Structures are given as structure tokens and as C-alpha cells.
Amino acid sequence: MKPVQYFSEEYLEQSKQASPEQVLAFLEQFRLLQGKTDIQTKVSSKLISLKVPEDLLATFRAKCGVHNLKYQTQIKVLMEEWLNR
């Protein structure tokens, strides 16, 4: 069962004044609270389209192949590491 969070009108008004940094901090704290810190955890995924220079992608995929890593998984690992800095 997913948790449901209810907010008072006062809290919602206060939230409208939050800076982008405060919003990001809230989202990260909520993500950690839900225990979704490990990309191997089964959570729903979102299919995205991302333009990447062909030479960068080819080199990245080749390096992942040398280290026996799946390149898309490695992209997610890098994203997670960057968020946790």
C-alpha cells in the first residue's frame, strides 16, 4: 500500500514560497523516506528519450562492455551517485 500524505491549507500556502533548492531537498528526503535509494530495487520506471552525441554513446557503451556492465544500468548508477553527492 502506498502512503498518502495530507497537507493543510496553511502548509500548501507556505510551500508556494519554497525555492527550487528547497523543493529539490524535499523531493530527495521523500525519496529516501520511501527507501528507494537502491536502483536495483523494483520500482516503476519511466521511458525517456535522450539525445546523446553518437561518439559519446558509442564510447560509453564500449567501456561498459569492457567492464561487463549494461550501459543503461550504468547511466542510472551515475545518476544515483550524482544525486547522493
Higher pLDDT, 10 or 43: 10
Check whether 18 has a pLDDT greater than 70: yes
**Cell numbers that stand for 40 in this block:** 536495483
Whether 80 and 39 have beta carbons less than 8 Å apart is answered as yes
Give residue-wise pLDDT tens across range 30-80: 877 776 555 555 678 889 999 999 999 999 999 999 999 999 999 999 998
Per-residue confidence (pLDDT) for residue 48, from 0 to 100 = 94
**Cell numbers that stand for 36 in this block:** 528507494
Per-residue confidence (pLDDT) for residue 40, from 0 to 100 = 52
Contacts of 61 (CB under 8 A, 6+ apart): 71
Higher pLDDT, 1 or 40: 1
Per-residue confidence (pLDDT) for residue 3, from 0 to 100 = 74
Q: DSSP alpha helices (H): ranges in 16-70?
A: 20-33, 54-66
